[in-house]
Structure 1
Amino acid sequence: MNAPHSPAGSSTASFLRLSSIEITPKQVEKLPLLKERLTPGCRVFVALIDPNDLAAQIEAVKQLKAAGFLPVPHVPARFVRDEADLNARIKALAEAGTDTMLVLGGGAPEPIGKYDAAIQLMTTGVFQANGVKTLGIAGHPEGNPDITKVHGEAVLLKALKEKQAYIKSNGLDGFIATQFLFEAGPVAEWAKRLRAEGIDLPIYVGIPGPATIKTLVKYAAMCGVGNSARFIRKQALNITKLLSVNTPDDFVAGLAKLHYGQPELGVAGPHLYPFGGFDKLFDWMKTVK
């Protein structure tokens, strides 16, 4: 299939306009900047890294909704104690102004309650009971080291199939949001495997915004990012480059080519992580053609 050749409709910049962005609950203090730089209706994901930040997450959802964004709160299974806890938080998040949530296992080494996997939360029926219409699930183009080292890649594929089957059989909309990485090649290969296995949910690809090499190495180590981080790690070996800023121009351009040139892969848009700060991210976005 030939890629579209309308510059206005198939540029890297037009692909970037399909972005969602991720914040922590405390970063809702950046709301004036988000309103200035993002288009109304943009999806803003609200991570939950500390289980004690739930109240702040709910408040962030409320403020984002009032500002005209579509808030997408993370619901990590390992931070949920039981079904009553799940119902209380989903009810509160829905009342704060969202019908779209990202359900994931969560990065905690041990669960605080009875759940440790996203599918366990989904099959309670609590989301539909509280008016949730769209569920996002996590994707790992380069594998999830916590799982693949022990169980292999097939387990991740099986889990995606189960989650998609549940979403579709319950009349929900769904999407996949991926872990961040640094190259488009692994995304293309992974998306091909998913499509061959019948997994056809749209994919939003995690992209680290402009940040110093030192910062990117830190996040890559924390999150177990895979082979595409080799360039970043190699750069980090040169101490004079540690504080140089890396921008994802080539990565985003490669994803744009997949989006416009191979629509069957379902690469739907970028999901931006502002690791280097919001100012760096938004200033860079203005330079993309």
Structure 2
Amino acid sequence: MPQHADQLRSRGRGCGYPEGHANITDADLAAALAAKAPLATHVITQICFDARATVDWARRVHRDHSDLDVVIGVPAPVSRQKLMRIAGGIGLGQSARFLRKQQNTIWQLIRPGGYRPDKLLRAFEPHLAAPDVNIAGIHLFTFNELAGAEAWRRSLLARLDAG
């Protein structure tokens, strides 16, 4: 372990891909995570609209790296055009496997009223305290739509407090 490993560990984080990446093999992703895990405290997932895939991936991370927390990356409410552009830019939209598996989600994104994170967050709720996944929190990707994301976050918290 390098000198100052505790300092590195206190600040370290990694990036996780619950459904893989269009341009990186699963073996290379696993090797990169294994190399980073000793220096990281948590891993933030990339966008994944499939809660089951994310939870299954978090379960594998816990099995292979039990000290590594998982923070689930969820897109904040943004326009469907921006969300699709960003999804394509990070490799999701280019993956034929992603497109085949996510046809229903893509339809939801392009119809009026499209994507809202509420439903995705509710799908994670039963797993948040599960001891076999090490889910430590949620990270909202705002895509520089800070005012809208903050308004949505406050509204969500007010609904949770009321209910």
Is this a same-fold pair by TM over 0.5? yes
1:276 Cα deviation (Å)?
6.9
Q: In the comparison of the two structures, how many residue pairs are matched? A: 149
Distance in 1 (alpha carbons) for counterparts of 2:60 and 2:79: 33
Query: Is the alpha carbon distance of 1:251 and 1:211 closer, same or farther for their aligned partners in structure 2, counting shifts above 3 Å?
Result: same
Q: Which runs of 5+ in 2 are unaligned?
A: none
| TM-score with structure 1 setting the length | 0.46
Query: Is the alpha carbon distance of 1:236 and 1:285 closer, same or farther for their aligned partners in structure 2, counting shifts above 3 Å?
Result: closer
1:138 Cα deviation (Å)?
1.1
Q: In structure 2, what is the equivalent of residue 46 of structure 1?
A: none
Task: Find out whether 1:156 has 2:156 as its counterpart.
Answer: no
User: In 2, are the aligned partners of 1:188 and 1:265 still within 8 Å (CA)?
Assistant: yes
Paired AA for residue 21 in structure 2: N
Between Structure 1 and Structure 2, the one with more strand by share is: 1
Q: In structure 1, what is the equivalent of residue 137 of structure 2?
A: 269
| TM-score with structure 2 setting the length | 0.76
Structure whose CA Rg is larger: 1
Distance in 2 (alpha carbons) for counterparts of 1:280 and 1:264: 34
Q: Give the counterpart of 1:250 among 100, 119, 122.
A: 119
User: In 1, are the aligned partners of 2:18 and 2:45 still within 8 Å (CA)?
Assistant: yes
Paired AA for residue 162 in structure 1: A
Paired AA for residue 140 in structure 2: L
Paired AA for residue 142 in structure 2: P
CA RMSD, 1 decimal = 2.6
1:245 Cα deviation (Å)?
5.0
Task: Find out whether 1:180 has 2:47 as its counterpart.
Answer: yes
Distance in 2 (alpha carbons) for counterparts of 1:256 and 1:197: 23
Distance in 2 (alpha carbons) for counterparts of 1:198 and 1:285: 31
Distance in 1 (alpha carbons) for counterparts of 2:50 and 2:65: 24
Task: Find out whether 1:197 has 2:64 as its counterpart.
Answer: yes
Task: Find out whether 1:147 has 2:14 as its counterpart.
Answer: no
Q: In structure 1, what is the equivalent of residue 84 of structure 2?
A: 217
- 1:11-50 aligned at under 5 Å gives the runs none
Q: In structure 2, what is the equivalent of residue 233 of structure 1?
A: 106
1:176 Cα deviation (Å)?
0.6
1:187 Cα deviation (Å)?
0.8
Distance in 1 (alpha carbons) for counterparts of 2:12 and 2:138: 17
Distance in 2 (alpha carbons) for counterparts of 1:223 and 1:263: 30
1:202 Cα deviation (Å)?
0.3
1:229 Cα deviation (Å)?
5.0
Query: Is the alpha carbon distance of 1:142 and 1:253 closer, same or farther for their aligned partners in structure 2, counting shifts above 3 Å?
Result: same
Query: Is the alpha carbon distance of 1:245 and 1:276 closer, same or farther for their aligned partners in structure 2, counting shifts above 3 Å?
Result: farther
